[in-house]
Amino acid sequence: MDDLYLILATLAFLGGFILAAVSLRSERPRKQGVNIPIAAVGLVFQSLFLQLRGEMHGRCPITNGAEVLVFVSWSIVIMYLALGKAFRLSLLGVFTMPMVFFFQLFAIVYLLAADPGPRPPAALDPWLELHAAMSLLAYGAFGLAGVAGVMYFFQDRQLKSHHPGRLFYSMPPIRYLVAALVRLLVIGAVLLSVGIVAAFFMKVVPDRGHLLISGAVWIVYLVLIVVHFIKRLPPKPLSFWAIAAFAFALLTLSAL
């Protein structure tokens, strides 16, 4: 049943992916707010999948690569629904759907190829659960920051083309986009900090490699935030480094 929920969630995001592709290519006015209910439907099925996997393992469902990808996708959707409208970035969903779809597609392939099955812990450690949940929620915020960076480059390319499409006129002003990007970076850094601190209170302290990887991601984002607040990075390099930092963070997921 959990596989069915994951497939249904992925189909919902496929619908969002198709909508994104059509929106990016269409010259017609785009219907506002369609991506929000699509994201909400996908979130419901994601949550049901994670709930069943959590009951199967008896712990936070991040025991393999597929579950981690779904949890990160779930975190991205949660962040989008919670913060997109507040940051005046309702259009963020159009750019988020393709990424979430591909994450979950990889998760489906992984589970169909080699689902390791139940992996209950010897003893439940609340600090481990907090460490895992906060760290992956941070990846959700970092993912949205990366998407905001992609949105900036899309706007920049549209402006330089001198023939911007209708989607361009639905996008927020660059100052709102940059402000939201910075806030998402800060939110992610705070969440990751909580996750790293929680790791030191775990019954079994993670191995040095795990801590070094988590620390490396934290340092990358901390440096980016500090440099921005000191030098006030222009939108283009800030967007580039937000995208590059998230790409680096994704590469470390397999080693966590």
Model pLDDT for residues 175-198, shown as the tens digit of each residue: 888 888 999 999 999 999 999 999
Mean per-residue pLDDT for 148-172? Answer: 76
- pLDDT at 103 > cutoff 80: yes
For the chain, the first-to-last Cα distance in angstroms comes to 27
Model pLDDT for residues 196-255, shown as the tens digit of each residue: 999 888 887 777 777 888 899 999 999 999 999 999 999 999 999 999 999 999 988 765
Q: What is the pTM of this model?
A: 0.88
Mean per-residue pLDDT for 18-42? Answer: 71
Query: What is 161-210 written as a DSSP string?
Result: HT---HHHHHSPPHHHHHHHHHHHHHHHHHHHHHHHHHHTTSSSPPPHHH
List phi, psi (to 5°) of 34: -70, -35
C-beta of residue 24 within 8 angstroms of C-beta of residue 165: yes
C-beta of residue 2 within 8 angstroms of C-beta of residue 56: yes
4-18, 62-76, 160-174, 227-241: range with lowest mean pLDDT: 160-174
For a pLDDT cut of 70, what percent of the chain falls above it? Answer: 87
Alpha-carbon dihedral angle through residues 142, 143, 146, 152, given to the nearest 10 degrees: -120
- pLDDT at 3 > cutoff 50: yes
Count of C-beta atoms within a 10 Å radius of residue 110: 18
Kindly indicate the confidence band of residue 29, based on its pLDDT and cuts at 50, 70 and 90.
very low
Grouping H, G, I as helix, E, B as strand and the rest as coil, residue 251 is: helix
pLDDT top residue among 95 and 93 = 95
Model pLDDT for residues 42-83, shown as the tens digit of each residue: 999 999 999 999 888 888 888 888 899 999 999 999 988 887
The pLDDT assigned to 23 comes to: 67
Of 53, 72, 73, 77, which is closest to residue 63 (Cα–Cα)? 53
C-beta of residue 143 within 8 angstroms of C-beta of residue 181: no
Tokens in use for 116? 């390791």
